[in-house]
Amino acid sequence: KIFRRAIRKPKMESANKNILLFGSGMMVLPLLEYLTKREENYITMATNILPDGQKLAAKVRNTTAVEADVTNVDMLRDLIKGRDLVISYVPPPLHPPIARTCVELGVHMLTASYVSDTMRELDPEAKKKGVILFNEIGLDPGIDILATFKVVDEVEEKGGKILSYESYCGGLPSPDSYDNPFGYKFSWAPQGAMRAMGNPAIFLKDGERVEIEKGTVMRQFEPMNSMHPTLKMEGFPNRNSIQYKEEYRLHDTKTLIRGTLRYP
């Protein structure tokens, strides 16, 4: 008994975390399920469609839904003040007013979206106040970036060079649910996915700059049959890949393509 008492670890009391989540769309439920695995996390879901928020909140613990308008600055201040963390799952054009208020009130913020020019302009003030505005921390962009830098670091440590870089990501539905003409799983706003598919694309191929006109990207696909022994897939370029050449430290790369994966 004495021995057991000596090695017994004291119970650690975790302080509650007050998290504010903007949005009630298709990606929110998995996030709520993940966050509420920790019993100290308490989530307030701010949404402009309160019935949807209430339905989601009822499926997990420690979660309540409130109605919110992210264009109302006074409402944003009331919602954000005193939070430990803000997560924005609203459409990207609506991130900046939330981010500005977070910087003003000294609250950290996460999004899964690409860093827009407007968000980038907030960086100096955020750093000055010690506020973290963490963007591009989803799957794509997010996990792909982490995997890229892992490889880049390993190659640089060995004195090597990366001559070709291709990164593809896509939402692939289960084969028995493959029932839409895009061959794609819409796990986020379909309008946003369609807009991305309609963008022009720029990438490097064997040292040559390649540009694809707006609205024609999905016709410029490449078979991706080597990625899986049984699944046939195809990939097409996604937006401007060349901008990542310096950002990803791919200085020697002759081929640089970031693309989207889908079924043929």
Is the separation of the CB atoms in 70 and 98 below 8 Å? Answer: yes
Cα-flanking dihedrals φ and ψ of residue 226, to 5°? -80, -5
Q: Are strands 201-205 and 63-67 parallel, antiparallel or unpaired?
A: unpaired
Give the CA distances from residue 126 to residues 78, 112, 191, 235, in Å, rounded to whole numbers and listed in that order. 20, 18, 31, 37
Catalytic residue among 69, 78, 140, 176: 140
User: Would you call 160 helix, strand, or coil by DSSP?
Assistant: coil
User: Judging by beta carbons within 10 Å of its beta carbon (0-12, 13-18, 19+), is residue 98 exposed, middle or buried?
Assistant: buried
Give the separation between CA 17 and CA 38, rounded to whole angstroms.
10
140 is catalytic: yes
Catalytic center residues? 140
